[in-house]
Amino acid sequence: MVLDISPDELPSGGNAAIARVAVIGTGAWGTALAVVAASAGRTVTLWGRRDDVVDDINTHRLNSRYLDAIPLPDGITATTDAAAACRDADTVLVVTPSRTLRDICRMIRPHLRPGIPVVLCCKGIERGTGLLLSQVAEEEIPDHPVGVLSGPTFARETALGHPTAATIAFPFSYQDRLHPENSPAARLAIALGGKGFRPYISDDPIGVEVGGAVKNVIAIACGMMTGAGFAENTRAALITRGMDEMKRLAEVLGGRRETVTGLSGAGDLTLTCSSTTSRNFALGAQLGAGKTRAECFDGKDVVVEGEVNAVSVIELARKVKVSMPICECVHAVLHEGVPLSEAFARLWARPLKAEPRSLSISLDHPGGSAAEEDLTQRMS
């Protein structure tokens, strides 16, 4: 589908205008998206639980706790009142940890204007149910279009206006295909697009969500091997084969493999697997260097989405019978007590497989035993 529109081509009034944006979550990414929306000329209300963060935003035009030293533009106000944040909003961006999404949806539901689009800017799969986050939101706010925003986006760089691209994905109805300029995805792209922020439009939220959830787990794997002393070859292999795991899961769930090669898959995976700015990579690197989980991040209670997602991703993969050996490896280390050296040695010594899906091959690895012994020694 080719969609080439400008703000001047949008119909006036009706469901096309998005002037007021509510952002639920005053963390680093929520604040960065508030900056994006305000810089694009929208009026933004940020909701958060902490009085000190809300006061800092309103009084000093800063979020010193989560996004320090970056001045916030005019057009952003903050509140701890969810009703006030949502009351007049034309759209709502939910930017909270994935594990809290269901409760957040229940909180905002009574305050949403009828039919406005809700955009999930968190990444993950619900533990226990195996539901994608959009499916969770659709259960809790069934009368609203639900989409996702995802991509290779570190919050600080986005807030500073560095050129950043992301994908906005909503299901497309028959009417959306007849008039794509009125689709929720297109309207959000126009509302948020600005000098530094370039949104791309997708009709495959499943593929986008799978990429966002699984890449966090693969990033922990890359961090573990980097922390253990391995370098570029190893990380490139994990990124590439990790993307294949993302493709397999997306396809089984009804998404498209093509989506996983885009910003929300390959783009986000490459970014998250290559920088200690990523909490997921940083956690893996510290564990790979020999720290216990309690010692990571100097003992601070840091939320790492991939640590949570490792459980829900593997639960879902096993349920739908998709092989995800790298994610299984990370799950074994984080949640089953398997030593890191043993888990990765087993991963590398698995039978040899074909890369193209058209070939169904599984051969005993002739160097499997030696690889397992060597990696165990290197990482011990």
- How far is the C-alpha of 53 from the C-alpha of 31, rounded, in Å? 11
CA distance linking residue 77 with residue 255, whole number of Å: 37
| Nearest residue to 81 (alpha-carbon basis) of 117, 56, 57, 45 | 45
Quick one: which of 167, 111, 101 has its CA closest to 135? 101
Comparing C-alpha atoms, which of 216, 328, 327 is closest to residue 278? 216
| Whether 215 is catalytic | yes
Enter the tokens of residue 70: 């970056």
Written as six digits, the tokens of 294 are 């309690």
Question: 112 with 144: CB under 8 angstroms?
Answer: yes
Pairwise CA distance, residues 330 & 334, whole Å = 6
- For tokens 């986005």, the residue is 158
Structure tokens at 79: 């509140």
Catalytic residue among 215, 247, 291, 319: 215
Q: Which residues are catalytic?
A: 215
